[in-house]
Amino acid sequence: MILRLTHVSTFIGQFHILQDISLEVPAGEVTVILGRNGAGKTTTLRSIMGLAPATGGTISFMGESLNGLPPYAAARRGIGYVPEDQAVFAVLTVEENLRLAMLRRDRAGNERLRFVLDIFPDLAQKLKQKGGSLSGGQKQMLAIGRALVHDSRLLLIDEPSKGLAPIMVEKLAGALRQIKDHTTVVLVEQNFNLASAVGERYVIIDDGHTVQQGLMSDLQADQNLQRRYLGIAAAREGGKVV
């Protein structure tokens, strides 16, 4: 397992958001964290990164504890994080956004940059454009591309499809399929169609607790579980798998 959370507990202010999160992420796969709004999905990712430090339990990455590490130290160990709000640096150009993530300007870094521009050709045409002037979908691509340039062995992506047009979601799904050949991905996603199209494993979180985890194919077949924790059965009947 590349990432293991054991009985993780996290407070944000006085609120006990994560109460008992345990999950395992195998290397080389896409694990999707699912759950209702407010279940604790985003806080789980933020706790792994050290942005919302865990107050209890253990978080280990490649066998080493991440507990107590500041976010930059977690990132230096090879964890990339893409937040849900398409956080690109508006005052920097696309190229500067990408270069910022390259800790070393070596051959491997340049190869990763080329890979990013291959899977997101829209960005290649806008290298000199300011990040703030991109469309929502392009910003999302830039945010993901930046985490990839960083040489992440584990990529945490929070709701990449949020607010995107269906055509952009399809492009994103294509990119995620290419990315998962290079790095392990933990994806928080409300769009079950996207989640099931790219995910190999799932973890369901509800009210700050891990309630179920396993293979995505099992979840796709278990409509009772989908209805109980995800409330998506009705929507899925008319949905299109991307």
Partner 1 sequence: MDVFVNLTLSGLSTGMMIFLVASGLSLIFGLMGVLNFAHGSLFMWGAYAGVWVFARTHSFTLALLAGMAAGAMVGWVMERLTIRRIYGNVVAQILITTGVMLVLNELLSATFGPNIIATTVPPLLAGSWAFGNIVVVKYRVFTIVVGFLVALAVHFMLSRTRVGIIVRAGVENQEMVQVLGINIRQVFSLVFVFGSALAALGGVMMAPAIGAVNSGMGIENQMLAFIVVVIGGMGSFLGSALGSVIVGLAGAYTAWFFPEASLAVNVVLMALVLLLKPNGLFGMGGE
Shortest reach from residue 4's CB to partner 1, in Å: 20
Shortest reach from residue 209's CB to partner 1, in Å: 26
| Paired residues of 24 in beta bridges | 4
| Cβ proximity of 23 and 34 under 8 Å | no
Torsional sign, CA 63, 152, 18, 21? negative
* Residues in Cβ contact with 228 at an 8 Å cutoff, skipping those fewer than 6 apart: none
Shortest reach from residue 109's CB to partner 1, in Å: 12
Nearer residue to partner 1 within complex by CB, 25 or 88: 88
Closest CA to 92 of 117, 145, 128, 135: 128
Nearer residue to partner 1 within complex by CB, 102 or 211: 102
Nearer residue to partner 1 within complex by CB, 85 or 218: 85
Nearer residue to partner 1 within complex by CB, 69 or 219: 69
Shortest reach from residue 80's CB to partner 1, in Å: 8
Other Cβ atoms closer than 10 A to 46: 23
Shortest reach from residue 98's CB to partner 1, in Å: 10
Nearer residue to partner 1 within complex by CB, 51 or 127: 51
Element (DSSP H or E) covering residue 64: strand 64-65
Closest CA to 188 of 28, 44, 66: 44
Query: Distance of alpha carbon 38 from its chain centroid, rounded?
Result: 17
Shortest reach from residue 148's CB to partner 1, in Å: 12
Nearer residue to partner 1 within complex by CB, 87 or 242: 87
Contact set with partner 1 (CB under 8 A)? 49, 51, 70-72, 74-76, 80-81, 83, 87, 89-92, 96, 99-101, 103, 146, 150
* Residues in Cβ contact with 18 at an 8 Å cutoff, skipping those fewer than 6 apart: 8, 9, 10, 40, 43, 44, 47, 54, 208
